[in-house]
């Protein structure tokens, strides 16, 4: 069980913090690298962006009144290890940051503008996902709950990709390899308006006004419940884009995706029935892709093994053929006769000198005089024990005339002349 909330903290506020002194403004400005919130990639403000990249803390999203955000000291425990910092590389090569969160071992949910940036080339090139990242006050990475991965497979919806409608600003990241089955993840559900009113929303992410890789958390009651969005005065900042809006008391159930803020409130996409259906579909797609990848890897291993076996069998066959040739030659020397190349076809039912056909196995060989079909084709070709070929009808007639005068061996040797 988590420890009880500190006095004065709203019931339901996730309590797994510890003592922490937030860095001063000068420390923050000195420690933040040039990696700003993905929000600015889609809603650029040249003056704000230039100030931010210079190291000053200006953002569209709001900290209301006193900054009451709490730093998560141990990001290796649930649910903080389910939250990931995103290091985003856009299609044009620019770099940004955001937040995502696991809903299965295969899928991470985030804001649509973290995966599709219409003003930066569309679909982003890649995202490094750092699960439960933690850092020091100087912005140095000190821990991760799981090894980071680089993802290149993303999802969003037409309402964002085509229309850039902020009410549809959500997407997903299909992980290149699954998390362990016991790693855990948020659940999600679509709740009614009445259930969401006066709901305590927890928001957990990687704000850009704090030291890099540090995870921060806050909770506030809902300010407005709209058909597609949730609004709240919870303190967020650039970098929190894509963070989960979840109910801690209700089993850490995600109710929305944080996407933006203004001078009045911060807001996110509400998980409706349609949004939940898309998340489930993407979960299934990610799971199927992992199954296909595993099957391909298994098939590749089997194919490599099969290829190795085939090569060994071919080597054994070559060795056997070589031994057979040597034995045949040795027997020929002992008998004083001529040996026939082992590659020549032989008959198992007739004598060694009887010609055989090159027809496929199962067809009757043409022996003696040509058949009508052979005449129609042109010529009949036969092989002797010496490997010579007989072509044409006249040779067959000569063989018939001489058959009574020759022995089988001399007949074979004299009937066939080179064609």
Active site residues: 113, 241
Please state, in angstroms and rounded to a whole number, the distance separating the CA atoms of residues 337 and 9. 107
Which token pair is 185? 């993840």
CB atoms within 10 A of CB 410: 11
Q: Residues with Cβ < 8 Å from 79, sequence gap 6 or more? A: 14, 184, 186, 204, 246, 252
Q: Work out the burial of residue 351: count CB atoms within 10 Å of its CB; fewer than 13 is exposed, 13-18 middle, 19 or more buried.
A: exposed
Q: Using only the alpha carbons of the chain, give its radius of gyration.
A: 39
Question: E strand or H helix at 202, and its extent?
Answer: strand 200-205
- Whether residue 414 contacts residue 401, with contact meaning beta carbons closer than 8 Å, is answered with no
What are 253's two structure tokens?
Answer: 């159930």
86 contacts 114 by C-beta, under 8 angstroms: yes
3-state DSSP percent of the chain in helix, strand and coil, to 5: 30, 20, 45
The answer to whether 124 touches 152, Cβ cutoff 8 Å, is no
Backbone angles phi, psi at 368, to 5 degrees: 70, -130
Dist CA 99 CA 282 (whole Å): 18
**How many whole angstroms separate alpha carbon 168 and alpha carbon 160?**
5
Burial of residue 3 (CB within 10 Å: 0-12, 13-18, 19+) is exposed
Under 8 Å CB-to-CB from 98, ≥6 apart: which residues? 37, 38, 85, 86, 88, 110, 111, 114, 206, 239, 241, 242
Which whole-number Å values give the CA distances from 381 to 370, 385, 392, 413, 417, in the listed order?
9, 14, 8, 16, 11
């Amino acid at each position: 069980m988590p420890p009880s909330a500190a006095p004065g903290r709203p019931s339901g506020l996730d309590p797994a913090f510890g003592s922490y002194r937030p860095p001063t403004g000068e420390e923050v400005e000195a420690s933040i690298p040039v990696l700003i919130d993905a929000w600015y990639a889609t809603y650029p403000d040249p003056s704000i962006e230039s100030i931010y990249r210079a190291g000053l803390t200006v953002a569209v999203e709001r900290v209301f009144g006193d900054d009451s955000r709490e730093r998560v000291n141990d990001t290796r425990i649930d649910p903080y290890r389910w939250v990931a910092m995103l290091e985003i590389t856009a299609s044009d090569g620019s770099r940004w940051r955001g937040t995502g969160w696991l809903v299965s071992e295969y899928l991470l949910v985030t804001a649509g503008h973290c995966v599709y940036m219409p003003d930066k080339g569309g679909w982003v090139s890649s995202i490094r996902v750092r699960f439960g990242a933690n850092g020091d006050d100087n912005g140095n990475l000190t821990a991760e709950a799981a090894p980071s991965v680089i993802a290149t497979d993303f999802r969003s919806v037409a309402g964002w990709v085509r229309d850039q409608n902020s009410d549809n600003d959500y997407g997903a990241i299909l992980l290149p390899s699954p998390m362990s089955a016991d790693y855990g993840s948020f659940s999600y559900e679509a709740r009614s308006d009445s259930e969401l009113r006066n709901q305590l929303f927890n928001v957990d992410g990687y704000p850009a006004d704090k030291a890099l890789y540090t995870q921060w958390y806050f909770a506030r009651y809902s300010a407005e419940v709209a058909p597609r969005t949730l609004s709240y005065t919870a303190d967020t900042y650039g970098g929190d884009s894509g963070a989960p809006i979840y109910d801690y008391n209700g089993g850490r159930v995600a109710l929305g995706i944080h996407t933006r803020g203004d001078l009045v409130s911060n807001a996110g996409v509400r998980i409706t029935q349609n949004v939940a259906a898309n998340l489930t579909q993407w979960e299934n797609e990610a799971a199927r892709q992992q199954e296909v990848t595993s099957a391909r890897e298994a098939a590749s291993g089997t194919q490599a093994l099969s290829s190795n076996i085939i090569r060994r069998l071919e080597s054994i066959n070559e060795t056997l053929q070589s031994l057979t040739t040597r034995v045949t030659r040795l027997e020929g020397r002992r008998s004083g006769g001529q040996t026939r190349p082992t590659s020549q076809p032989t008959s198992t039912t007739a004598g060694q000198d009887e010609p055989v056909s090159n027809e496929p196995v199962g067809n009757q060989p043409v022996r003696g005089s040509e058949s009508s079909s052979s005449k129609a084709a042109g010529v009949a070709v036969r092989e002797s024990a010496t490997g010579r070929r007989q072509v044409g009808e006249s040779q067959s007639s000569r063989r018939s005339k001489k058959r009574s005068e020759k022995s089988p061996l001399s007949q074979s040797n004299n009937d066939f002349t080179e064609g």
